[in-house]
């Protein structure tokens, strides 16, 4: 097993290379905003600007600027601000609509929407963090208005442009929704445990509580599985939809719930998250034949209908790295560090591009690069830098706590 100190160095230097890739290739100084469709060398192959990716990159740059001393460079904050201004100006579908576009043309005209409210959530986290980094309350106020829209929707307010409902379609909750609610709420409540203000924003605290409790409804069959879709009351749904599992989402839920339970002092919740959302998904989600985490599985062992089910995607491996270090901080069991070493070794070996920076996103089941692109409609400047900065910070705390011997 590689020493933790060596991992911290490797993670930090990879973070530098990854951020450099995005700074070098994704900015649009003419029209603002960020390109995300980048080839493996960093060339723009499509100039569509995806709102998820704008909000996420604003968040990454702002968080790096605010919390990682070597990234406190004015040009990084300026790039984040340019992204935030682009979002404020072009993302909303209209002055009276809380909904934002999913994709924009290079010059900011709306191309299409999504039925789900995830674009709004990424706008909220990006603007809130920009407000903190820049010290400008107006960004945080704008972010909060989208967070409150999300609170309204999870409470049941009708979602403009949402999916039509039919009698044969049972109401369902996708795990992504509580994960988004928890991500937004924890961001607005402080971003990291040291700066929380408990009770400071009851509405946002309600959003966090809804997210945490709604996420738990996806733990089924005595916590032995995590189902991607359940009824709003937490019952299993029939068919492939009801049996679908997504190891990456389960592991992301793991570290989000560990953070929530730590902040709130809910020890039992933390213990449950460790077992059902970290140890569990790493076991059932791992490909025993070729290594790596599957994209999707069926809880009863049927073949999933998603064509990419057995592909190895970059982000579940990064969620696993974060979840395992968060688990070790919660309960210092060396098994978590051994698993971190195994997952991080697989991820660095398979996804990393030492030549051009940033990771490949999509491998075949066997672990070969299947899509040579570095960014696209759903992959931008987010999972790699977010996970690396979180891992660097956690590895630093662990090393500090345990002394330099490890």
Residue 164 is a binding residue for a copy of itself (CB under 8 A): yes
Residues with Cβ within 8 Å of residue 102, at least 6 apart in sequence: 50, 51, 52, 111, 112, 113, 114, 119
Say if residue 316 is exposed, middle or buried (CB neighbours under 10 Å; 0-12, 13-18, 19+).
buried
Q: How far is CA 200 from CA 183, 190, 193, 213, 257, in A?
A: 17, 10, 14, 20, 20
DSSP code for 159: -
CB 362 within 8 A of CB 311: yes
CA distance 380 to 38: 9
- Positions in 281-340 near a copy of itself (CB under 8 A): 298, 302-305, 307-311
Please pick, from the candidates 371, 393, 396, 399, the single residue that binds a copy of itself as defined by CB under 8 A.
Answer: 371
3-state secondary structure at position 373? coil
168 vs 222 by CB, closer to a copy of itself: 168
Query: How many residues of this chain bind a copy of itself (CB under 8 A)?
Result: 48
Residue 41 is a binding residue for a copy of itself (CB under 8 A): no
67 vs 240 by CB, closer to a copy of itself: 240
Which of these segments, 24-32, 38-46, 179-187, 203-211, binds a copy of itself (CB under 8 A)?
Answer: 38-46
Please pick, from the candidates 67, 240, 271, 345, the single residue that binds a copy of itself as defined by CB under 8 A.
Answer: 240
268 vs 307 by CB, closer to a copy of itself: 307
CB 106 within 8 A of CB 28: yes
* Shortest Å, Cβ 61 to a copy of itself: 24
DSSP code for 191: S
Residue 235 is a binding residue for a copy of itself (CB under 8 A): no
Please pick, from the candidates 166, 268, 334, 403, the single residue that binds a copy of itself as defined by CB under 8 A.
Answer: 166
Q: Could you tell me which residues are beta bridge partners of residue 312?
A: 363
115 vs 221 by CB, closer to a copy of itself: 115
Interface residues toward a copy of itself, by CB under 8 A: 37, 39-40, 45-48, 101, 103-105, 108-113, 161, 163-164, 166-169, 238-241, 298, 302-305, 307-311, 362, 364-366, 370-373, 376-377
């Amino acid at each position: 097993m590689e020493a933790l100190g060596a991992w911290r160095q490797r993670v930090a230097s990879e973070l530098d290379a990854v951020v450099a890739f995005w700074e070098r290739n994704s900015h649009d100084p003419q029209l603002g905003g960020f390109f995300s469709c980048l080839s493996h060398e960093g060339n723009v192959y499509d100039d569509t600007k995806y709102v998820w990716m704008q909000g996420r990159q604003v968040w990454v740059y702002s968080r790096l600027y605010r919390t990682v001393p070597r990234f406190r460079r004015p040009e990084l904050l300026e790039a984040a601000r340019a992204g935030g201004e682009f979002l404020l100006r072009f993302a909303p579908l209209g002055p009276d609509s809380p909904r934002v576009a999913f994709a924009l043309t290079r010059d900011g005209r709306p191309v299409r929407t999504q039925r789900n409210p995830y674009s709004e959530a990424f706008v909220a986290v990006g603007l809130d963090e920009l407000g903190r980094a820049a010290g400008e309350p107006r960004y945080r106020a704008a972010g909060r208005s989208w967070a409150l829209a999300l609170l309204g929707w999870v409470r049941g307010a009708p979602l403009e442009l949402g999916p039509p409902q039919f009698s044969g379609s049972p109401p369902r909750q996708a795990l992504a929704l509580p994960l988004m609610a928890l991500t937004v709420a924890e961001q607005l409540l402080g971003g990291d445990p040291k700066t929380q203000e408990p009770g400071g924003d009851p509405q946002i605290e309600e959003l966090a509580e809804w997210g945490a409790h709604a996420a738990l409804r996806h733990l089924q069959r005595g916590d032995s599985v995590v189902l991607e879709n359940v009824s709003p009351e937490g019952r299993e749904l029939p068919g492939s939809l009801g049996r679908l599992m997504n190891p990456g989402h389960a592991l992301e839920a793991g570290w989000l719930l560990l953070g929530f339970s730590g902040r709130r002092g809910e020890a039992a919740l933390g213990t449950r998250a460790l077992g059902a959302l970290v140890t569990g998904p790493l076991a059932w989600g791992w490909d025993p034949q070729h290594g790596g985490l599957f994209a999707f599985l069926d809880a009863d062992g049927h073949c999933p209908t998603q064509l990419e089910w057995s592909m190895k995607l970059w982000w579940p491996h990064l969620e696993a790295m974060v979840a395992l270090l968060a688990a070790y901080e919660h309960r210092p069991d060396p098994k978590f560090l051994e698993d971190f070493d195994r997952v991080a070794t697989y991820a660095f070996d398979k996804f990393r591009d030492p030549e051009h920076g940033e990771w490949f996103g999509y491998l075949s089941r066997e672990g070969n690069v299947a899509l040579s692109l570095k960014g696209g409609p759903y992959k931008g400047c987010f999972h790699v830098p977010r996970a690396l900065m979180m891992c660097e910070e956690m590895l630093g705390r662990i090393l500090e706590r345990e002394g330099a011997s490890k």
